[in-house]
Chains A and B, each alone.
Chain A
Amino acid sequence: MNVFSGHISNIQVSKSLSMISVAIDNAHILKAILVETPETASYLKEGKQISVLFKETEVIITPEEEPLISVENKIRATIAIIEKGELLSKVTLASSIGDIVALVTSEILEGLSLKEGQNVVAMVKVNEIMLSK
């Protein structure tokens, strides 16, 4: 599990859904969509310190610098370590907010010829991000 800590910078509410923006640092905001509102969950307050969680399997990697893709959260990073497995490989990405671990198929790793030291963009969909106090 990838965990980053930040504070809530914005909350958009629509019925029972909320879009929560969490500022990890000045340059990086991660967004999460929840079936909760500030009324149902007391921890949803602007400015509140919170952790952002997402699984390694949910991280998408692309070598393109400005990908046109329907994924909200994008973080620039450099491939630090690749550990190859038979089907899945573990890719550790170094970014300015810290290391991000991604689990991708070994096949696509070959196909995109991703290598250690390469610059990439790591992406996570809003519905894959969980918040934790």
Chain B
Amino acid sequence: MIDWGPLILTAKLALVTTIILLAISIPLAYWLAFSKSRMKPIVETLVSMPLVLPPTVLGFYLLMAFSPGNSFGAWLQDWFGIRLIFSFSGLVIGSMMYSLPFMVNPIQSGLAGLPNSLAEASYVLGKSKMKTLFSVLLPNIKPSLLTGVVLAFAHTIGEFGVVLMIGGNIPEKTKVVSIAIYDEVEALNYTQANTYSIILFIIAFMVLLSVYMINGGYLKKFWK
């Protein structure tokens, strides 16, 4: 029978990544949507880099940075006892960077699409920016939030390059489904590879279908 380990690990990775990414992306998207800073185009570019860069490039630099042979990696290990390469935490960080634009972009365009008067009306009623964000802005961009969450989740499930570079292929630790498929093909276990592939295919299909059905074409707009 098939080994469920990679599937469970993949689900866990996608879940953890998505939750942390959501927490980080809300303030980042808020800043990108409303800031008039000169830094904004640079930050926007950095956020969107994973869309065009081969995952291996990101993975390679993360590997370099996190490696204990490097000063940053050594500092992390000495001070916090964290080792990010070939570990689950490293995978989470890599996946977050890789999926960042998929979460940030929909939220940013959702926030920017709201009329300015909505936030202003809240300020005039004496409410802080924080209260306004959580009570007025976010509840009115639920489709964008859902899109961000689903895309980040699905994208994490499907990633390969970054994971392979910094996670390696350690069963129960870093061996996610996409790696497992590669492994099985290498070992000429086509049936096993096919099972994993079909499961991934179905999950990806279901996830995207649900977004399309709920948001009625939002994704299409986003991809244009």
Q: Do chains A and B touch in the complex (CB under 8 A)?
A: no
Binding site for A on B (CB under 8 A): none
Binding site for B on A (CB under 8 A): none
